[in-house]
Amino acid sequence: MKIILRNTAHSQERESGNRLYYDFPEYSLHLNEIKPGGATDWHHHEKIWETVFVTKGELIIRWKEDGRIKEQLLHEGDVVEVGDTPQSFANETNEPAAFLDIKQVLSGEDKQELLKTDKVSD
């Protein structure tokens, strides 16, 4: 077991908000807080699979698809599999919003059965 305390995580303050990085050999977790009126920059990843879990507040995700910009309002508990889609998150509320960003390099192998059954009672 490995416990990583918040004060040992790499942190970065940005104009749009704060970010904590927890990096591991095969994946990383980024905890992002977006200030009211803040937004992330437009970006995408070519090899990293990105999954976002909204942990606080409301966010608007904007993404580019077929040459058009689309958007969806997200609430606490919503999940987005971003994949390699160009996207940006915006907080258009008066309260801070936050999301957990999980970044992985996937093999393309279906591991659902293993994920459902790999539990041994102690």
Q: Cβ-count burial of 44 within 10 angstroms (0-12 exposed, 13-18 middle, 19+ buried)?
A: middle
The owner of tokens 């807080």 is: 33
Is a pLDDT exceeding 90 seen at residue 52? yes
The whole model's pTM is what?
0.86
Percent of the chain whose pLDDT exceeds 70 = 100
Query: How far, in Å, are 34, 75, 91, 102 from residue 96 at the CA level?
Result: 6, 12, 8, 20
Give all strands of the β-sheet with 27-34 in edge-to-edge order: 10-13, 17-23, 27-34, 97-104, 49-56, 79-81
Whether residue 26 contacts residue 8, with contact meaning beta carbons closer than 8 Å, is answered with no
Q: Which pLDDT belongs to residue 86?
A: 94
Please say if the pLDDT value at position 17 is more than 80: no
Give the confidence band of 42 by pLDDT, cuts at 50, 70, 90: very high
Pick the CATH number of 7-106 from 2.60.120.10, 2.40.170.20, 3.40.50.720, 2.130.10.10: 2.60.120.10
Helix (H, G, I), strand (E, B) or coil at 64: strand
